[in-house]
Amino acid sequence: MSEVKEDNSLWYIVGGCIVVMVAVVMFLKGEKSEHLKSGAVAQLQAETFANLEKRKTRNDVTEDQKAGK
């Protein structure tokens, strides 16, 4: 009787998927805080709070708008 050789390509596919997933996770962890380094978030936040203060101090603003509703 001749022995049948098993095909192990499934394990290569599973291993390759695991390696790709680990590489993607490492890449995304490195890119996670890139947008904070540019200062755009801090600038936008400062502009937003300045606009809110202007809105609260205007005379023609209703009480609901002053409360942020």
∠ CA 14-28-41, rounded to 5°: 160
- End-to-end alpha-carbon separation of the chain, Å? 82
- 52 occurs within a structural domain: yes
Distances (CA, A) of 11 to 14, 15, 43, 67: 5, 6, 50, 60
pLDDT score for 61: 65
- 30 occurs within a structural domain: yes
- 3 occurs within a structural domain: no
pLDDT score for 8: 78
- 28 occurs within a structural domain: yes
- 4 occurs within a structural domain: no
pLDDT score for 7: 76
The distance from CA 47 to its chain's CA centroid, rounded to whole angstroms, is 22
- 38 occurs within a structural domain: yes
- 48 occurs within a structural domain: yes
User: 14-53: per-residue pLDDT in tens?
Assistant: 999 999 999 999 998 877 766 666 777 788 888 988 888 8
Domain span including residue 26: 9-66
Q: How many domains is the chain partitioned into structurally?
A: 1
